Structure 1
Amino acid sequence: MHEHPLQRFFRSLRERPVFAWERYRQRDVLVIDHPLCQAVFSRQGAQLLHFQPRGQKPWLWCAAKWPHVGAIRGGVPVCWPWYGRHPSENAWPSHGWARLIDWKLLDSRSDEDGVHLHWQLQLCDWQVDLHADLGERMELRLSTEHQDSQPCQLSQALHAYWRIGDVGEVALSGLEGAQGYDQLSRAACQQEGELRVEGGCQRVFQHEGELQLKDHAWQRELRIDTGDSADTVVWHPGTRPLLGVSWDEVSEFVCVEAASGGTDSLCLAPGERAHLSLQAWVGA
């Protein structure tokens, strides 16, 4: 098992403040050390890169190597204001601008339940806010307000990379009977039984609510709730190579994402808001 690259900040026995900014791989990262959990955010993308409740193994995976510039692979990237390829502009970056831009941290506080953060990004006629509550559980809430005078299209995702013991020993339940689209075979699909992803998976399900990620190698069950998002996306590259990521690392994650606007792009009227959420906790 590879150590999470950002656990390096927590090796020292000295007492740390709850919130501390550090410089790592040419990015500003916010290191969080609370009695209930440890976490790391990147200012770039307001990206939660590491989350680990006390006494547990890490919940999120992050690549050991980062590019000098560009998107960081791992954690929970905020894909916004589109995810996947842009529908009309081929030269624009996959998964939108939000994960490439520095966000403002408007609020960070702690209490006996954990830590609470509010990040914000204003881009052209859009405002997007990310609220994070971290403690024994993890909750992310994304809210977009369209401030233009004309309607505009939106798609978005909270693209979570969940840390696991071994991809060959995990199963995802809760999707039984869900209709979806298999982007590898380019065909409609319906899930029968538990979903296993060892050979590669890129499916978009019309599903909302709770799933169970059963990790037999780590003897852990993560409950993942994608809220009332229109889609739940399950992704793993299988044997396809990922740039800068070793095969050993690839076997240590699976993506289960909350998404909306992918199958039917959202059309926001002026002043209208769109919401997306992702929660996780350890099952009984």
Structure 2
Amino acid sequence: MPEHPLHRFFAARRPRPTFEWERYQQRDVLIIDHPLCQAAFSRQGAQLLHFQPTGERPWLWCAEQWPQVGAIRGGVPVCWPWYGRHPSEDLWPAHGWARLLDWKLMDSHEDAQGVVLKWRLELCDWQVDLEARLGSRMELSLSTEHQDSEPCQLSHALLAYWRISDVSEVALSGLEDIEGYDHLNRQACRQEGALKPKGGCQRVYSGIPGVQLHDPAWQRQLCIDTGDSDDTVVWHPGSRPLLGVTGRECQRFVCVEAASGSDDGLSLAPGQRAHLSLQAHRLS
């Protein structure tokens, strides 16, 4: 089994340029091949689908089969301008419009530290920018500028699917003795010891700068930094089926997300900006 659905692009014998557009499962995909890392973005959603530092296993999980239309499950979807269900419109798509629309690639360049990409989405009175810095580590920064003349509400998230050996083998540290909210049991919770997502998990912790993802089977520890986001969200569906994803695939990821405004929304004044970031580096 390939390490990633996009593996075939990197297995090609011919030399590749650092940046090259390909067509895959009816999407435009930007393949990135740099001495320090390999990566792939979808133009739809400016979604980072694959990231793999040289000599390592992939850091991100992505579904093997994508729907003909609609959101791609996996990588790091940009949830914007709302996270989760829309607060008043039940028929509007979960997690907003951004992951369903094509973004414009404003800039892409490389240097000794890796690659830098800048994506932009302009919608109504909003301008949204996503900057990615990829090399031996992964850094994503999302910025929203509100350009209307009236205040507005916003919630957003960088919803990362981290690739793992098996959900039964991994644990998350950095949450010990922290108050959170367990959405599966609909009650407050306090984490005792490392969090093990096996069996299903949907927990939200406020004000947590980062967690460590321990994967003994792969002898890997990732430090995941959610920056100054309001919430760090840990999610895994457990035994619940996911549309278009096999049970075998579900065992190979856990989500650790950076989110802000998911409760009451962020109130933005005209001209004000909102920021969100997600970073990761390997500890061992």
Q: The TM-score by the shorter chain falls in which range?
A: over 0.9
- What letter is aligned with 2:257? E
- What letter is aligned with 1:116? V
1:246 corresponds to: 246
Q: Quote the Cα distance in structure 2 between the aligned partners of 1:84 and 1:68.
A: 22
- State the identity %: 73
TM-score by length of 1: 0.98
Cα deviation per residue 1:122-145 (whole Å; 9 max; x = unaligned)? 111111100000000000000001
Q: CA deviation at 1:193?
A: 1.2
* Within-5 A mapping of 1:207-222: 207-222=207-222
Residues 76 and 158 of structure 2 are in contact (CA less than 8 Å); yes or no, is this contact kept in structure 1?
A: yes
- What letter is aligned with 1:143? S
SS in structure 2 of the partner of residue 167 of structure 1 = coil
Residues 175 and 207 of structure 1 are in contact (CA less than 8 Å); yes or no, is this contact kept in structure 2?
A: no
Cα deviation per residue 1:140-176 (whole Å; 9 max; x = unaligned)? 0000011111110000000000000010000000011
Q: CA deviation at 1:263?
A: 2.3
1:277 corresponds to: 277
Q: Which runs of 4+ in 1 moved over 2 A?
A: none
Q: Quote the Cα distance in structure 1 between the aligned partners of 2:272 and 2:207.
A: 23
2:55 corresponds to: 55
Q: Quote the Cα distance in structure 2 between the aligned partners of 1:99 and 1:60.
A: 17
SS in structure 2 of the partner of residue 31 of structure 1 = strand
Aligned pairs, number: 284
SS in structure 1 of the partner of residue 249 of structure 2 = helix
Residues 3 and 58 of structure 2 are in contact (CA less than 8 Å); yes or no, is this contact kept in structure 1?
A: no
Residues 178 and 207 of structure 1 are in contact (CA less than 8 Å); yes or no, is this contact kept in structure 2?
A: no
Q: Quote the Cα distance in structure 1 between the aligned partners of 2:177 and 2:99.
A: 33
Q: Quote the Cα distance in structure 2 between the aligned partners of 1:65 and 1:12.
A: 21
- What letter is aligned with 2:21? W
Q: CA deviation at 1:2?
A: 5.3
* Within-5 A mapping of 1:1-284: 3-284=3-284
- What letter is aligned with 2:241? P
- What letter is aligned with 2:41? F
Q: Quote the Cα distance in structure 1 between the aligned partners of 2:179 and 2:122.
A: 35
Is the deviation greater in 124-133 or in 173-182?
173-182
- What letter is aligned with 2:106? L
TM-score by length of 2: 0.98
Q: CA deviation at 1:277?
A: 0.2
Cα deviation per residue 1:1-50 (whole Å; 9 max; x = unaligned)? 65310111101122100000000111000000000000000000000000
Q: CA deviation at 1:217?
A: 1.4
Q: Quote the Cα distance in structure 1 between the aligned partners of 2:3 and 2:113.
A: 27
- What letter is aligned with 2:101? I
Residues 170 and 216 of structure 1 are in contact (CA less than 8 Å); yes or no, is this contact kept in structure 2?
A: yes
Q: Quote the Cα distance in structure 2 between the aligned partners of 1:178 and 1:105.
A: 39
Residues 86 and 96 of structure 1 are in contact (CA less than 8 Å); yes or no, is this contact kept in structure 2?
A: yes
Q: CA deviation at 1:108?
A: 0.1
SS in structure 1 of the partner of residue 168 of structure 2 = helix
SS in structure 1 of the partner of residue 248 of structure 2 = helix
Q: Quote the Cα distance in structure 1 between the aligned partners of 2:142 and 2:82.
A: 13
SS in structure 1 of the partner of residue 136 of structure 2 = coil
Give the gaps of 5 or more residues in structure 2.
Answer: none
Cα deviation per residue 1:46-69 (whole Å; 9 max; x = unaligned)? 000000000000000000010000
- What letter is aligned with 1:164? I
Q: Quote the Cα distance in structure 2 between the aligned partners of 1:241 and 1:262.
A: 24
Residues 153 and 266 of structure 2 are in contact (CA less than 8 Å); yes or no, is this contact kept in structure 1?
A: yes
